[in-house]
Each structure stands twice: as structure tokens, then as C-alpha cells.
Copies of this chain bind each other. A is one copy, B any other.
Amino acid sequence: MIEGIEAAYYRLPLPLSGDAGHGQIDAEELVTVALRADGLVGHGYAYTIGRGGRAVLALIEHDLAPLLVGQDAADVEALWETMWRRLLFVGRGGLASFAIAAVDIALWDVRGLRQGQPLYALLGGSPRLIPAYGSGVDLPKPLPELLGQVEGFLRRGFPGVKVKVGRPDAAEDEARVGAVRRLIGDRVDLMVDANMAWTVDQALERGRRLEGAGLYWLEEPTAPEDVAGHARLATTLSLPIAVGESLHAPSEFRRYVEEGAVDIVQIDPITNGGITASLQALALADAAGLPTSSHYADELSAHLLCASRRPVYLEKHAFALDPYLEAPQEVVDGHVRPTQTPGTGLRFAARALAPYRG
């Protein structure tokens, strides 16, 4: 039985960061959840790029915690449905999915602790070695800094790197991507991310200019609402189209997969609405034969991608929570494995977080 759910809010500072869709990003918000049930404590979290975190905290404290206390923690999927229905009027995606995710992750942790199984095993997966790519949130960085960041990724042995695109001047994007390609050579994969900044026509033009750089994918070229636009881009461009972080409900993934609007399905267990929801996204990708990757939540995604048929890359995110974890994710030769301890393996380092409590 769920005895209590405690949430806490932190605002974590970031170095100069930003992208074409969200502008400058100067902080990451973290909302942690500790869920007590049957003598166990499961941990979960939600994050934002600096906006909306207080609202996520409010949903957990005022709406979800009172709803779940007293219920059986074991039936994780039914509790996801209970939360979803409770927030239906203000939810069906959007911000509500972030709050549901934080609780859902803690429930999966409890399930793992109870069964003595790591998360990937609960999901029916094997502890695979997964290639990771180094990922920057670097649109405002001048070129020398951008290249310095990429050199850092190469030193860590990542087989792939990602940079942001979507500068006002198309030629500048082209020059930056070209410089990165020259730096990394042909053996390292290169992804680019436009963060929804373009119209479909702009994305076609920008995409064509970048096709020569041999890109592994073009991420979020246009507004997530425009599924037909994504389908047109996926059909017309030779670049594979990757989406997922902005899809806040399994039904949104379904539309993308059904309409041929995505080539690489990216899961994010926070923005998608929890592990329970990301699993549905992975199942949709598997059924369509699509490769999968991840966005953020590196430590959880390592488990989730082990339950996917065609995981191609885990994103090692510039804002990764590693500095705030008791056991930061190990990256060996640019690859990661899921943790082997029961549950998610996710434990926040209280001392590291304390200065940022809000």
C-alpha cells in the first residue's frame, strides 16, 4: 500500500545553453519524488528546461499524492490510468504528463525493489551495451566553443555526436555542421536538432543544404502538431527524421508512426508521461520496425532501450543529472549499460542537490 509521496523542487543552474525552439536556457528544474510503500522507497523525478517546474510540483502534491496514498503500489499500469483519468480535464498530455511520469517512475522503482529485479529485467529486456552519443544544447555557442565541446565528446569515445541547428542564417548552420563533420571525420555519426524552429518549407530547404554532411538524423524539424508536415519531410528528405521528446501521450506517438512521420522514435520517460507511456511508444516503434533512441533521462533510458528491438543510440545529454546522482551513469568507450541493482538504480545525492532546493 502506498503510504506517502514526498516531492521536492530544485532549480539547477546551467552554463550558456539554448536551442532554436526554446531560446536561451539558463536553468533546469528538477522535481524529485520519493514514494513509500510496504517498507520500500521508490524514487522518481520530472525535469523541465526551466519553465513549469513549480506547476509539476503542485500537481504531484495537490492532485496525485492524495489520489494514490492508500492504493496498492503493485498495479503500476492501473495507477497510471488512474492518474491519467484524474487529470483528464487539464491533461491528456502537456504538463500533466510530466507529473504523472515522476510518480510512475517511482512506482516502477518500487516494483523492481520488491521483485529484486533491475528495471530492464522487469521490462523483459537484457542488459545490452548501448552506443551513446554526446549531445550539446549549444546553438548560442560560438564555433570555437562548439568544436571544443565536440572534441570533449570524441575524447569520451562517443560513436556519435549531436549539435543544434536553426540559426537565423542557413549558411551559418551549414558552416557549423560542416566544421563539426571535418573535426569528427567520417567514422563518427553526426545528428542535428532543429527543436521545432522551422516551417515545413524552411525545413525542406535547410534539410537539403545539410544532406551533404551525411547526417544520421534530423531531429524535430518543425512543429510537433504538424504530423503531415513531418511525413512530408520524412518522405522528401534523404535525412531520417527523429522525434519523440515533445510527444506527451502514447496516442501522439501512434499518429506519428501510423502516418509515416517518424524514422527514428525517441523516447523520454519524463516528457512522454512515464515509463509506462514510453513502453507503449517503444512497442509502436517495434511493431513498425523503426529504430529507437532516447532523449534525456539517460539512466532510465538505458533500461528502456534494453526493452526495444532496434535501439540505435542513447543520448548522453548535456544536462544529464549525473552530478546529482549517487551513482552517475558509467560511460565506457562511448557505450552505456543499464544498472544491475534492483529497481531503476536511480538515487539522488542529497548533498549535491541541497544548495538548489527551491
Residues of chain A having any CB pair with chain B under 8 Å: 21-23, 48-49, 51-59, 61-63, 85-99, 196, 223-226, 246, 248-249, 251, 271
- Which residue of B55, B94, B96, B196 is within 8 Å of A63 (Cβ)? B55
Q: How far is the CB of A55 from chain B (nearest CB, A)?
A: 4
Closest B residue to A60 by CB, please name it. Answer: B55
Known: A63-B51, A63-B54. A98 touches B88 (CB 8 A): no
Instruction: Tell me, in angstroms, the Cα distance from A39 to B224 when the chains sit together.
Output: 40
Instruction: Tell me, in angstroms, the Cα distance from A59 to B246 when the chains sit together.
Output: 19
Are B249 and A225 closer than 8 Å at their CB atoms? yes
Instruction: Tell me, in angstroms, the Cα distance from A21 to B96 when the chains sit together.
Output: 17
- Which residue of B23, B85, B87 is within 8 Å of A23 (Cβ)? B85
Q: How far is the CB of A124 from chain B (nearest CB, A)?
A: 27
Instruction: Tell me, in angstroms, the Cα distance from A21 to B21 when the chains sit together.
Output: 35
Q: Which residues of chain B come closer than 8 Å to A57, judged between CB atoms?
A: 58
Are B90 and A95 closer than 8 Å at their CB atoms? yes
Instruction: Tell me, in angstroms, the Cα distance from A57 to B22 when the chains sit together.
Output: 22
Are A246 and B92 closer than 8 Å at their CB atoms? yes
Are B87 and A51 closer than 8 Å at their CB atoms? yes
Are A92 and B58 closer than 8 Å at their CB atoms? no
Are B54 and A58 closer than 8 Å at their CB atoms? yes
- Among A21, A52, A88, chain B packs the most CB atoms within 10 A around the CB of A52
Q: How far is the CB of A164 from chain B (nearest CB, A)?
A: 15
Are B249 and A91 closer than 8 Å at their CB atoms? no
Q: Which residues of chain B come closer than 8 Å to A52, judged between CB atoms?
A: 59, 63, 87, 89-91, 96
Are B251 and A95 closer than 8 Å at their CB atoms? no
Q: Which residues of chain B come closer than 8 Å to A91, judged between CB atoms?
A: 52, 94-95
Closest B residue to A86 by CB, please name it. Answer: B51
Instruction: Tell me, in angstroms, the Cα distance from A51 to B61 when the chains sit together.
Output: 11
Instruction: Tell me, in angstroms, the Cα distance from A53 to B63 when the chains sit together.
Output: 9
Are A95 and B55 closer than 8 Å at their CB atoms? yes
Q: Which residues of chain B come closer than 8 Å to A51, judged between CB atoms?
A: 63, 86-87, 89-90
Instruction: Tell me, in angstroms, the Cα distance from A88 to B22 when the chains sit together.
Output: 7
Instruction: Tell me, in angstroms, the Cα distance from A224 to B251 when the chains sit together.
Output: 11
- Which residue of B54, B95, B224 is within 8 Å of A94 (Cβ)? B95
Q: How far is the CB of A172 from chain B (nearest CB, A)?
A: 22
Taking A22-B89, A48-B89 as known contacts, 17 extra A-B pairs with beta carbons closer than 8 A to each other, sorted by chain A number, are A49-B89, A52-B63, A52-B90, A52-B91, A54-B59, A54-B61, A55-B55, A55-B58, A57-B58, A89-B246, A90-B94, A92-B225, A93-B93, A94-B97, A94-B248, A95-B96, A223-B251
Q: Which residues of chain B come closer than 8 Å to A97, judged between CB atoms?
A: 94
Q: How far is the CB of A160 from chain B (nearest CB, A)?
A: 24
- 8 pairs, CB–CB < 8 Å, chain A vs chain B: A22-B89, A52-B87, A52-B91, A55-B63, A90-B95, A94-B94, A95-B96, A225-B251
Are B94 and A92 closer than 8 Å at their CB atoms? yes
Instruction: Tell me, in angstroms, the Cα distance from A63 to B93 when the chains sit together.
Output: 19
